[in-house]
C-alpha cells in the first residue's frame, strides 16, 4: 500500500491541478479535466478516493448505500472512458473529455434526463423513402 501512495497522490494532483486554469480560462467551473498521464492500474481504494473528492466537489448526496454503489459504478465506467478517450488524442488541439457533474450517470440515465424526446432525422432520406414520399404527394394532388 505504501508504494501506491505516491501514485495516488500524483493521480489526485493530476485530476485537480487543471481546475484553477479551467475556472479562469473561460470553461464552466463544473469541468474537471483528467490528465492523460493517469496510471491505469489505480487501486480500488484510489478509485473510491477520487470518487469521494469528485462527489464533494459536485456536492452530490445519495439516498442510500444502494444508490451510492450504482453511482460509483457509473463513475468508474465514465472515468475509464475519459482515460481511454484522452489517451487516444494525437495532438493538443483534439477534443479532451473530463469528469463533469454528470460523471455518476449512466449513458441511458443522461439521455433520459437531458436529451430531447423529439425524433430528429439523422441524415438524408434513402432513395426508397424519397420515392415513397413523392408518390404520397402525387396521390394527394390527384385526389383534389
**What pLDDT is attached to residue 77?**
95
Pairing, β 98-99 against β 32-33 = antiparallel
Reference 45, options 77, 87, 12; nearest CA is: 12
**What pLDDT is attached to residue 27?**
41
- Domain boundaries in the chain? 2-142
**Other CB atoms within 10 Å distance of the CB of residue 23:** 13
Coil vs helix vs strand at 32: strand
pTM of the model: 0.57
As its CATH architecture, domain 2-142 has Orthogonal Bundle (1.10)
CB 73 within 8 A of CB 105: no
The grid cell for 97 is 473529455
pLDDT 10s per residue in the chain (144 long)?
Answer: 556 666 666 566 556 655 544 433 334 444 444 444 454 567 888 889 999 999 999 999 999 999 999 999 999 999 999 989 988 888 888 889 999 999 999 999 999 999 877 665 666 666 677 677 667 666 555 444
**What pLDDT is attached to residue 79?**
93
Amino acid at each position: 500500500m505504501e508504494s501506491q501512495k505516491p501514485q495516488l497522490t500524483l493521480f489526485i494532483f493530476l485530476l485537480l491541478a487543471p481546475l484553477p486554469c479551467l475556472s479562469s480560462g473561460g470553461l464552466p467551473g463544473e469541468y474537471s479535466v483528467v490528465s492523460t498521464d493517469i496510471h491505469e492500474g489505480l487501486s480500488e481504494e484510489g478509485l473510491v478516493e477520487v470518487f469521494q473528492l469528485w462527489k464533494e466537489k459536485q456536492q452530490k448526496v445519495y439516498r442510500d448505500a444502494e444508490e451510492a454503489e450504482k453511482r460509483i459504478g457509473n463513475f468508474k465506467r465514465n472515468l475509464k472512458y475519459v482515460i481511454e478517450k484522452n489517451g487516444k488524442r494525437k495532438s493538443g488541439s483534439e477534443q479532451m473529455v473530463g469528469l463533469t457533474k454528470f460523471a455518476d450517470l449512466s449513458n441511458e440515465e443522461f439521455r433520459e434526463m437531458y436529451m430531447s424526446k423529439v425524433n430528429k432525422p439523422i441524415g438524408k432520406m434513402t432513395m426508397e423513402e424519397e420515392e415513397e414520399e413523392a408518390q404520397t404527394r402525387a396521390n394527394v394532388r390527384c385526389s383534389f
